[in-house]
Amino acid sequence: MTHQDLSITAKLINGGVAGLVGVTCVFPVDLAKTRLQNQHGKAMYKGMIDCLMKTARADGFFGMYRGAAVNLTLVTPEKAIKLAANDFFRQLLMEDGMQRNLKMEMLAGCGAGMCQVVVTCPMEMLKIQLQDAGRLAAHHQGPASVPSSRSYTTGPASTHKRPSAALIAWELLRTQGLAGLYRGLGATLLRDIPFSVIYFPLFANLNNLGIDELAGKASFAHSFTSGCVAGSVAAVAVTPLDVLKTRIQTLKKGLGEDTYSGITDCARKLWSQEGPSAFLKGAGCRALVIAPLFGIAQGVYFIGIGERVLKLFE
């Protein structure tokens, strides 16, 4: 194994570990974000705390982790691809990847965002259906709902069954093929590319401020803080695009809730029916999710867990 191969493998391990730790810590807030972004008309939840409290009362503590299994399974390759791809493009575009060149850093972030959607899009598709199921169940406690033609379940009894990721994935593949799992791909790219373009250069420049010349890298605390700050800024900046993606990827709708034919149709309906503020739904939750998620990711990444693991097998 060459030094370069070792470095790439270590980066993949670091990204995977960081993703697992981060998702476990912030998933309940991510669930609240999805439900807040999807509700329109009469609001069921007043905010993040209200959403989490009602979810815990209705489904127990583990109800706040509905859909976490999908994320925990797929976040390892997603975060590994995202972080490793950014490093790869930085080294490709900036020789040793260490020079400060904002344009090249943004281009490297763009490449990372494009690479990760291979995993991100189907992961988010499945996660959103599972996260939103509790909101829909409460929403449907009134009059019986009419099954949607775009539903991922079939038959009259389906509305009483708790969906599973395997069932949703199977129904999508059976009825729509691979394109079903990649519904909302355009919206995912529209969100993730700007996010990466903002996040990675901002993190790199913040992190460079704390690099110790003797150690050759920043401390864990500095990398963690840089990841939190860069993540929250990028998260809030792309929240309108995240709202569009969430609405488009939600297959089942509550009574009176719209379906959307695409990004433009979704944006037009949100603006005309719910006003400009609808584009910032869940912004606070999203910042609270992304900030620690990327803070943990970058902290773990710079600790070098992957390098330490690989040394055990030398």
Place of tokens 């409290």: 53
pTM (2 d.p.): 0.81
pLDDT, tens digit (0-9, with 9 covering 90-100), for 142-153: 443 333 434 444
Q: In the structure, what pLDDT confidence band is assigned to residue 128 with cuts at 50, 70 and 90? A: very high
What is the structure's pLDDT at 314? 66
Closest CA to 37 of 289, 229, 231: 289
Q: How confident is the model at residue 11 (pLDDT cuts 50, 70, 90)?
A: confident
pLDDT at residue 100, rounded to an integer: 66
Distance between CA atoms of residues 130 and 111, nearest Å: 29
Residue 98: pLDDT band (50, 70, 90) is low
Question: Does the structure show a pLDDT above 70 at 221?
Answer: yes
Beta carbons within 8 Å of 39's beta carbon, 6+ residues apart: 45, 135
Q: Helix (H, G, I), strand (E, B), or coil: what is residue 211?
A: strand
* CA–CA distance, 169 with 150 (Å, rounded to integer): 13
Cα separation, 231 vs 109, in Å, equals 13
Measure the CA angle with vertex 268, ends 264 and 273; round to 5°: 150
Domains of the chain: 3-311 (1.50.40.10)
Mean pLDDT of 198-203: 91
Q: Is the pLDDT of residue 242 over 90?
A: yes
Give the pLDDT score at 262.
92
Tell me phi and psi for residue 216, to 5 degrees. Answer: 85, 5
Contact 280, 180 (CB under 8 A): no
- The first and second tokens of residue 108, run together, are 């490297």
How far is Cα 64 from Cα 66, in angstroms, rounded to an integer? 6
Please tell me which residue, 179 or 162, carries the higher pLDDT value. Answer: 179
CB-CB neighbours of 50 under 10 Å: 14
DSSP letter at 218 equals B
Contact 36, 47 (CB under 8 A): yes
Cα 82 from chain centre = 12
Residue 146 amino acid letter: V
Long-range contacts of 151-160 (CB under 8 A, 24+ apart): 151/251, 151/252, 152/251, 152/252, 153/252
Q: How far apart are CA 41 and CA 207, in angstroms?
A: 43
